[in-house]
Structure 1
């Protein structure tokens, strides 16, 4: 059951912001995080620090009734990286504006004294921060004051680590059944795509997927054999950068795009007004302005790397919410991409319905369309 009114939400948020004198979570369990570390944690945890603000994407899927009840601090990226999503959450939970914020460990701006003062039961870190935490001895420093660190991953190898990360968090939160329910839903939605593709075996279009198009003047960041690159392949396409980029993330140059002459172009975008005010990025996300997204998407295709390529000539150009790349919601992006790549095979598939169902079953905020856009859209 979700909290029924603002007063209840405010009361929960206020309790979160006040440090408790003692924890009722006296039982210790040993969990294995996604980098294989054995970590002893009091569980179910009552107070957590989120090493990235966007970790609320999975926290909300577990603690749907009160997504911030355990959160005593978080990194300052959610508002900057997903302004529209942040606005939805702060509208419903206004006191999250008062949650202590941290800088990033990779940037060397993480305040360890502040973290210790909040006395969390655990700190949750993304796996990409592992090198920085090792270099700064952050894990050892926190361990000395009884604060364990666990690593999760929805970004570097999401198709290997999403299910284990959700199970890990379900165990820490005492929400194992809820985690399994989410995992089952996610896998069911992916199976809709993969089983139909396996039966039909259609020709695969060549796809150029550009990471954060328009965020800077550089062209072009892309994905190798993981993350959105793998989403393209799971959805029945050929990721043109998979043979160019050896890992998850990398760069392709304009000449390589022109030579590949892709059948489709997909760019990732979000509302990055706080990062790059007035930038060329495509602002797709919850409640996004469709005509404005298409205008900016069209403008990006005027860059030398894309003028004259097959995808642009045929208007097979799309934008998709960047934050699918760092959340357990990738299955919705896979459905959207499958529908673009194989419109006849998936003409009855409705990714909007899938995203709406995700919100209704697992998330505390109301679904708003706008997570993707295409040059052929009429609305």
Structure 2
């Protein structure tokens, strides 16, 4: 893990030398193993996802380079976050929408008509579009894929360096990638020095309210992160990437820790509303309904103060090392007693983003964090 950034940089440098390209030409290998060639850093981009990571890597004026974006997966999934950025970046709400793959509105025709010099897709959107991607590339428009969803240090670092390269912001990208790698290395070092946790962990997407069972996570996102941290993910081998677990199964597994992944979704009035603009009082009130589910009073997580809210918008991002810290702090409290995830998330935004981390991003159901 520690040498991921160094290795990728060295490989990229070697590849460039072997290619014998002109100084202006940019060649990268994206997370799908595709070679992507640009004549120069992109100045007119279509952005499908990973909005905050794009802003962090590209830096001031990042959204001035976005000709169109997939709007609903930002504005509807993270409305308070979007509003915060709209205040900091006045032109943001006027950027054209090309639809998104999640609701089937992504328009290849709009993409081509926009005449971008680069399309940036998440790996899952690339997979969803299938042969439609060929229509874009056949029109002479390069497509590059990023993957923060896999929740691995390697994919995070590769995606960040690729993004920095195609956008001409290599220095910021390398600093961000190193920060991420160093933070995850520190977490790993602390875990390796601590006794095994052996705590069972249940993560649920707390989107529709306690009356509905939300997705849990197997091999990606929160599931991959829990595995990396040495927790016992009760969704592992039960769902592939994400999907709901039966209430009966959760009760039989008796999780020691429950993380309710919440956000400020539009039109989801019963969600655990973690995120920008959130209040501790409201978050805990929404969590209460989950804690009071039938049978949950018998769970070790409920009996021992192990139920937590965590910001779903923080997963699959360059800031997710902070949420890794928070989960690890619950798994290994002694090893992480000097780590303050709340301060770290504020520091990340102060350093890299044009907005402040104003809100609630992690919160225990009980009044005090272990």
Q: Aligned equivalents of 2:206 and 2:25: distance in 1?
A: 41
Match of 1:32 in 2: 29
Match of 1:249 in 2: 242
Q: Aligned equivalents of 2:300 and 2:45: distance in 1?
A: 49
Match of 1:301 in 2: 291
Q: Using the TM superposition, give the Cα deviation of residue 268 of structure 1 relative to its aligned residue in structure 2, in angstroms.
A: 0.3
Q: Aligned equivalents of 1:103 and 1:158: distance in 2?
A: 28
Q: Aligned equivalents of 1:203 and 1:156: distance in 2?
A: 23
Q: Aligned equivalents of 1:122 and 1:215: distance in 2?
A: 39
Residues 162-181 of structure 1 aligned to structure 2 (within 5 Å): 162-181=156-175
Match of 1:13 in 2: none
Match of 1:87 in 2: 83
Normalised to the residue count of structure 2, the TM-score between the two structures is 0.87
Q: Aligned equivalents of 1:251 and 1:326: distance in 2?
A: 19
Q: Using the TM superposition, give the Cα deviation of residue 244 of structure 1 relative to its aligned residue in structure 2, in angstroms.
A: 2.1
Residues 213, 267 of structure 1: 8 Å contact kept: no
Residues 303-322 of structure 1 aligned to structure 2 (within 5 Å): 303-304=293-294, 306-322=296-312
Match of 2:65 in 1: 70
Match of 1:347 in 2: 337
3-state SS, counterpart of residue 296 of structure 1: helix
Match of 2:262 in 1: 269
3-state SS, counterpart of residue 26 of structure 2: strand
Match of 1:46 in 2: 43
3-state SS, counterpart of residue 275 of structure 2: coil
Q: Aligned equivalents of 2:91 and 2:207: distance in 1?
A: 33
Q: Using the TM superposition, give the Cα deviation of residue 30 of structure 1 relative to its aligned residue in structure 2, in angstroms.
A: 2.4
Residues 153, 184 of structure 2: 8 Å contact kept: no
Q: Using the TM superposition, give the Cα deviation of residue 266 of structure 1 relative to its aligned residue in structure 2, in angstroms.
A: 0.6
Residues 150, 224 of structure 2: 8 Å contact kept: no
Residues 220, 254 of structure 1: 8 Å contact kept: no
3-state SS, counterpart of residue 28 of structure 2: strand
Residues 121, 148 of structure 1: 8 Å contact kept: yes
3-state SS, counterpart of residue 320 of structure 1: strand
Match of 1:17 in 2: none
Q: Aligned equivalents of 1:202 and 1:140: distance in 2?
A: 48
Q: Does 1:145 align with 2:139?
A: yes
Q: Aligned equivalents of 1:305 and 1:232: distance in 2?
A: 24
Q: Using the TM superposition, give the Cα deviation of residue 203 of structure 1 relative to its aligned residue in structure 2, in angstroms.
A: 2.9
Q: Using the TM superposition, give the Cα deviation of residue 51 of structure 1 relative to its aligned residue in structure 2, in angstroms.
A: 1.3
**For residues 94-126 of structure 1, what are the alpha-carbon distances to aligned partners after superposition, in whole Å with 9 as ceiling and x for unaligned?**
221110012113533222332223211110111
- RMSD, aligned α-carbons: 2.0
Match of 2:92 in 1: 96
Q: Aligned equivalents of 2:69 and 2:348: distance in 1?
A: 24
Q: Cα–Cα, structure 1 residues 62 and 296, in superposed 2: closer, same or farther, change >3 Å?
A: same
Q: Aligned equivalents of 1:101 and 1:212: distance in 2?
A: 27
Unaligned runs of at least 5 residues, structure 2? 1-22
Residues 269, 283 of structure 1: 8 Å contact kept: yes
**For residues 319-347 of structure 1, what are the alpha-carbon distances to aligned partners after superposition, in whole Å with 9 as ceiling and x for unaligned?**
10001223222101001111222223211
Match of 1:359 in 2: 349
3-state SS, counterpart of residue 139 of structure 1: helix
Q: Aligned equivalents of 1:325 and 1:215: distance in 2?
A: 20
Aligned residues: 346
